[in-house]
C-alpha cells in the first residue's frame, strides 16, 4: 500500500468517523456571539471597577464598582461555554482570553490599587483550571473515538486495511469514475497449517503474507498501484489501479503471486504457500461495489473448483449459471403450485437466555419428499423472479403463528422476524402485500421485524431507504441481515434507519479461534451501539461463544446452541414454557 493511498483511505475513514461522531460542534454563529458577549462583559467589568459613582437600586445606594463582579462572572461563563462547545478552537480562544486578563488585573491591583479586582483574579484562576479540566477530558473522549475508528478500518492481526476500508476505497474510486480491478484471493490449504501446526503458526503465516504483499505494493514503481487488504481468515483482496489493459492486471497478480510463493521459514520449518485468484474489472464487468465483490468472488470460487493450486481467473458471466439451477427452479415452481413451501422458526434470545422471538425460515420439499436447502433454492428463486411469492408464503404462515401466540398470551412481547429479498422489497406493491396479511391476521406491527440483507445498502440506497421508511412508519422493525459480508461502508450504515444488526455466522465461527476475528466482532458491536442499534449474533453453536459474546456486549443470540429452526408446534411450546 503506498503512503498516499494510506493517507487517502485514512481521509475517507476520518470523514466517516466524523459523521459517526457522537456529539457535533455548535454552529459558528454561536462562537462569534460568545466572543462578542465576552468582550462586552470584560469592557463593562473594567468600566465598573474603575467607577466611583453610585446608583439607586430598590431604594438602596449601590456602588457602580460592585457590578464588576457580575460582569466578570458573565465573561467567565462565556469562557466556559467556549471550551465546552467548541473543543480545541474554543479551548485555545478561552485560554488566550483568560491569560490576557491576568496582566490587566495585576496592574489594576498592584499599580492602580483597584482592590475590587482581587476576587476577579481568583475567579480568573479557577475558570482557567475549569477550562483545562474540560479540555483534558475532551482529549480522552477523542482518543477513545480514534481508537474505535482504528479498529474499524484496520485488521488487528496483520495491520492491513480491512473490509470496511476496502469498501470505502472502492466507493471513492467509483465516485471518481476510475477504472480498477478487484482481486479476491484465498490461500490454499491454510486450514491444514492451522490444524497441524496450531493457530499461532497460522497467524504468523498470515502476518508474513501481509508483510510481503504490503512491502511489494509500496515498492511498486510506475503507474500501477495495488491496495492490499485482509478480508477474513485466509482471504485477502487487492484493488489494482492505473493499468492499461487486462494483460497488465494479470502481470501484476503474477508479481504478487511470485512474492507469495517464495519459501517461508517459521521455527525452522519451511512452508510453500500458494493461493487462487479471481478478479473482475470495473466498469467492464460491474459498476457497483456489491457486484464487483460478488463477481471477483465467483471467479475465485471457480478457480478453486478447478483445483489448480495457483490459478488466476477472470470473471465470466456464465460462471453464475448452471444446469442445476434450472432443475431447482422447476422445483420451486412446483412447490409454489402445490402450496408446499412451509416454514420453520428459529428462536432468538437475549444474552440472559430470555426469549426475544423467532426468525421465520423458508422450507421446501420436492415432489419426492426430499428437503431442498434454502441456501440452494432461495438464490434460484431470486434469479427466476419467484422470490416474492416464496417470501409471502413464509410471511403469511409466520403471521398466522404470531396471531395464535397473541390470542393465547395477550401480553406476549415476542418478535417475529421475516426475511425479505431485495427484489421483493423493491416491488411497488410490497407494502400493500404486507399490509393485507397484517390486516387478515389482525397482528400488531410492533411484533414484526423485516430482515434485509446488507447488500441493498450499496445497490439502490435511495429506493431502499424510502421502503424502509414506509416499513418503519407502519410500526415494524428493520434488521440488517448477514452484517459484515456485504462490504457496506460505515457511512451507509449511519444513514440506515434500522433497529437490529445481525452479525453473520462466518465471523462468529472464527471468533474464538483468532484474536483478530474476536476484535472484529467486538468492533461491529461497538459500532452498532454507537449507532443506537441492538446487535444479534447468528449461528452461535457453543457455550464458549456465548461467553465471549457476553464479554464484548452482544445483545442477542441466535444459533443451534439455544435452538435450531423448528416446526411451529415446538415453537409454541417454547413460548408457553
Least Cβ distance, residue 377 to ligand C2E (angstroms): 8
Select the binding partner of residue 219 from ligand C2E, Ca ion, none (C-beta < 5 to 8 A, by kind).
Answer: none
Closest-CA residue to 452 (of 481, 418, 492): 481
- By C-beta, is 99 or 544 nearer to ligand C2E? 544
- By C-beta, is 171 or 391 nearer to ligand C2E? 391
Residue 349, C-alpha cell as written in the block: 434470545
- By C-beta, is 150 or 482 nearer to Ca ion? 482
Select the binding partner of residue 539 from ligand C2E, Ca ion, none (C-beta < 5 to 8 A, by kind).
Answer: ligand C2E
Give the whole-angstrom CA distance, residue 477 versus residue 359: 13
Three-state secondary-structure class, residue 531:
coil
Give the whole-angstrom CA distance, residue 477 versus residue 499: 6
End-to-end CA distance of the chain: 56
Helix 289-305 × helix 163-175 angle, to 10°: 120
Least Cβ distance, residue 535 to ligand C2E (angstroms): 15
Least Cβ distance, residue 520 to ligand C2E (angstroms): 18
| Torsion sign across C-alpha atoms 262, 266, 270, 272 | negative
Bridge partners, 186 (sequence order): 235, 276
Rounded to 5 degrees, what are φ and ψ at 122?
A: -65, -45
Stretch that binds ligand C2E, among 207-215, 275-283, 418-426, 525-533 (CB under 6 A): 418-426
Residues 208-267 that bind ligand C2E (CB under 6 A): none
Select the binding partner of residue 391 from Ca ion, ligand C2E, none (C-beta < 5 to 8 A, by kind).
Answer: ligand C2E
Residues 327-366 that bind ligand C2E (CB under 6 A): 346, 361-362
- By C-beta, is 278 or 565 nearer to ligand C2E? 565
- Length of the chain counted residue by residue: 577
Residue of the chain from 139, 147, 223, 373 that contacts ligand C2E (CB under 6 A): 373
* Contact map string, positions 513 to 542, toward ligand C2E, x by CB under 6 A: -------------------------xxxx-
Least Cβ distance, residue 359 to Ca ion (angstroms): 6
Least Cβ distance, residue 390 to Ca ion (angstroms): 13
Stretch that binds ligand C2E, among 19-27, 137-145, 328-336, 389-397 (CB under 6 A): 389-397
Does residue 378 interact with ligand C2E by CB under 6 A?
Answer: yes
- Cβ atoms of 570 and 347 closer than 8 Å: no
Select the binding partner of residue 125 from Ca ion, ligand C2E, none (C-beta < 5 to 8 A, by kind).
Answer: none
Q: Are strands 556-558 and 341-350 parallel, antiparallel or unpaired?
A: antiparallel
- By C-beta, is 168 or 359 nearer to Ca ion? 359
Q: DSSP of 306-333, one letter per residue?
A: TT-TT-EEE--GGGG--HHHHHHHHHHH
- By C-beta, is 20 or 378 nearer to Ca ion? 378
Closest-CA residue to 500 (of 547, 551, 559, 555): 555
- By C-beta, is 71 or 507 nearer to Ca ion? 507
Count of other CB atoms within 10 angstroms of residue 20: 18
Select the binding partner of residue 471 from ligand C2E, Ca ion, none (C-beta < 5 to 8 A, by kind).
Answer: none
- Cβ atoms of 168 and 489 closer than 8 Å: yes
Cell 421446501 found at: 364
Instruction: Supply the DSSP symbol for 224.
Output: -
Select the binding partner of residue 549 from ligand C2E, Ca ion, none (C-beta < 5 to 8 A, by kind).
Answer: none
Stretch that binds ligand C2E, among 8-16, 185-193, 274-282, 387-395 (CB under 6 A): 387-395
Bridge partners, 534 (sequence order): 500
Residue of the chain from 185, 300, 387, 503 that contacts ligand C2E (CB under 6 A): 387
Residue of the chain from 375, 462, 569, 577 that contacts ligand C2E (CB under 6 A): 375
Residue 229, C-alpha cell as written in the block: 487488504
Does residue 291 interact with ligand C2E by CB under 6 A?
Answer: no
- By C-beta, is 242 or 379 nearer to Ca ion? 379
- Cβ atoms of 163 and 151 closer than 8 Å: no
CA 125 to chain centre: 44
Measured at the CA of 328, the angle between CA 323 and CA 332, to 5 degrees, comes to 150
Residue of the chain from 225, 419, 517, 537 that contacts ligand C2E (CB under 6 A): 419
- By C-beta, is 237 or 378 nearer to ligand C2E? 378
- By C-beta, is 34 or 452 nearer to Ca ion? 452
Residues that bind Ca ion (CB under 5 A): 419, 451, 481-482, 538
Does residue 286 interact with ligand C2E by CB under 6 A?
Answer: no
H/E segment holding residue 478: strand 477-483
Select the binding partner of residue 45 from Ca ion, ligand C2E, none (C-beta < 5 to 8 A, by kind).
Answer: none
Cell 453453536 found at: 541
Least Cβ distance, residue 259 to ligand C2E (angstroms): 36
Give the whole-angstrom CA distance, residue 299 versus residue 380: 19
Least Cβ distance, residue 417 to Ca ion (angstroms): 7
Least Cβ distance, residue 488 to ligand C2E (angstroms): 16
Least Cβ distance, residue 136 to ligand C2E (angstroms): 46
List alpha helices for 198-288, DSSP H. Answer: 199-219, 246-261
Residue of the chain from 348, 421, 523, 534 that contacts ligand C2E (CB under 6 A): 421
Instruction: Supply the DSSP symbol for 245.
Output: S
Least Cβ distance, residue 480 to ligand C2E (angstroms): 11
Helix 3-20 × helix 117-153 angle, to 10°: 120
Q: Compute how many residues bind ligand C2E; rule: CB under 6 A.
A: 23
Count of other CB atoms within 10 angstroms of residue 250: 17
Closest-CA residue to 71 (of 79, 83, 59): 79
Does residue 481 interact with ligand C2E by CB under 6 A?
Answer: yes
Three-state secondary-structure class, residue 556:
strand
- By C-beta, is 302 or 538 nearer to ligand C2E? 538
List alpha helices for 512-552, DSSP H. Answer: 515-530, 543-551
Query: Which residues in this chain contact ligand C2E in the complex, by CB under 6 A?
Result: 346, 361-362, 373-375, 378, 387, 390-391, 394, 419-421, 481-482, 538-541, 559-560, 565
Amino acid at each position: 500500500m503506498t503512503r498516499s493511498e494510506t493517507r487517502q483511505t485514512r481521509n475517507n475513514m476520518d470523514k466517516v468517523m466524523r459523521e459517526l461522531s457522537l456529539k457535533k460542534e455548535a454552529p459558528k454563529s454561536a462562537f462569534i456571539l460568545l466572543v462578542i458577549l465576552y468582550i462586552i462583559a470584560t469592557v463593562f467589568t473594567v468600566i465598573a471597577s474603575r467607577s466611583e459613582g453610585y446608583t439607586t437600586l430598590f431604594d438602596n445606594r449601590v456602588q457602580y464598582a460592585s457590578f464588576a463582579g457580575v460582569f466578570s462572572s458573565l465573561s467567565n461563563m462565556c469562557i466556559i461555554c467556549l471550551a465546552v462547545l467548541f473543543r480545541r478552537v474554543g479551548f485555545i480562544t478561552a485560554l488566550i482570553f483568560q491569560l490576557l486578563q491576568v496582566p490587566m488585573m495585576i496592574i489594576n491591583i498592584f499599580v492602580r490599587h483597584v482592590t475590587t479586582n482581587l476576587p476577579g483574579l481568583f475567579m480568573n484562576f479557577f475558570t482557567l483550571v475549569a477550562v483545562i479540566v474540560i479540555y483534558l477530558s475532551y482529549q480522552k473522549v477523542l482518543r477513545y473515538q480514534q481508537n474505535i475508528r482504528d479498529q474499524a478500518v484496520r485488521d488487528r492481526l496483520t495491520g492491513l486495511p480491512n473490509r470496511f476500508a476496502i469498501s470505502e476505497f472502492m466507493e471513492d474510486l467509483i465516485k471518481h469514475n476510475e477504472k480498477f480491478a478487484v482481486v479476491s484471493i484465498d490461500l490454499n490449504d491454510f486450514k491444514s497449517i492451522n490444524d497441524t501446526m496450531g493457530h499461532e503458526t497460522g497467524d504468523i503465516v498470515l502476518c508474513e503474507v501481509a508483510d510481503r504483499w504490503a512491502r511489494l505494493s509500496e515498492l511498486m514503481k510506475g503507474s500501477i498501484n495495488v491496495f492490499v487488504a485482509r478480508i477474513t481468515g485466509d482471504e485477502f483482496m487487492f484493488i489494482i489501479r492505473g493499468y492499461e489493459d487486462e494483460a497488465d492486471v494479470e502481470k501484476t497478480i503474477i508479481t504478487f503471486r511470485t512474492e507469495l510463493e517464495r519459501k517461508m521459514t517459521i521455527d525452522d520449518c519451511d512452508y510453500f504457500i500458494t493461493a487462487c485468484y479471481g478478479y473482475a474489472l470495473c466498469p467492464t464487468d460491474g459498476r457497483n461495489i456489491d457486484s464487483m465483490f460478488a463477481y471477483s468472488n465467483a471467479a475465485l470460487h471457480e478457480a478453486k473448483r478447478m483445483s489448480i493450486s495457483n490459478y488466476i481467473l477472470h470473471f465470466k458471466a456464465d460462471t453464475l449459471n448452471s444446469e442445476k439451477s434450472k432443475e431447482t427452479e422447476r422445483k420451486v415452481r412446483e412447490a409454489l403450485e402445490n402450496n408446499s413451501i412451509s416454514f420453520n422458526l428459529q428462536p432468538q434470545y437475549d444474552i440472559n437466555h430470555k426469549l426475544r422471538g423467532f426468525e421465520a425460515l423458508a422450507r421446501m420439499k420436492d415432489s419426492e419428499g426430499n428437503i431442498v436447502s434454502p441456501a440452494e433454492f432461495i438464490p434460484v428463486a431470486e434469479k427466476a423472479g419467484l422470490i416474492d411469492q416464496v417470501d409471502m408464503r413464509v410471511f403469511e404462515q409466520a403471521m398466522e403463528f404470531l396471531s395464535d401466540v397473541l390470542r393465547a398470551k395477550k401480553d406476549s412481547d415476542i418478535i417475529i422476524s421475516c426475511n425479505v429479498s431485495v427484489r421483493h422489497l423493491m416491488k411497488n406493491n410490497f407494502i400493500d402485500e404486507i399490509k393485507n396479511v397484517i390486516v387478515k391476521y389482525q397482528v400488531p406491527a410492533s411484533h414484526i421485524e423485516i430482515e434485509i440483507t446488507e447488500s441493498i445498502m450499496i445497490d439502490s440506497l435511495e429506493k431502499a431507504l424510502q421502503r424502509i421508511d414506509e416499513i418503519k412508519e407502519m410500526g415494524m422493525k428493520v434488521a440488517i441481515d448477514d452484517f459484515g459480508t456485504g462490504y457496506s461502508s460505515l457511512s451507509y450504515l449511519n444513514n440506515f434507519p434500522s433497529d437490529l444488526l445481525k452479525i453473520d455466522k462466518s465471523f462468529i465461527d472464527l471468533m474464538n479461534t483468532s484474536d483478530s476475528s474476536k476484535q472484529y466482532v467486538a468492533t461491529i458491536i461497538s459500532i452498532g451501539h454507537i449507532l443506537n442499534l441492538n446487535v444479534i449474533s447468528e449461528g452461535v453453536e457453543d457455550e464458549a461463544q456465548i461467553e465471549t459474546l457476553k464479554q464484548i456486549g452482544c445483545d442477542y443470540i441466535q444459533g443451534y446452541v439455544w435452538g435450531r429452526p423448528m416446526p411451529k408446534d415446538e415453537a409454541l411450546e417454547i413460548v408457553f414454557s
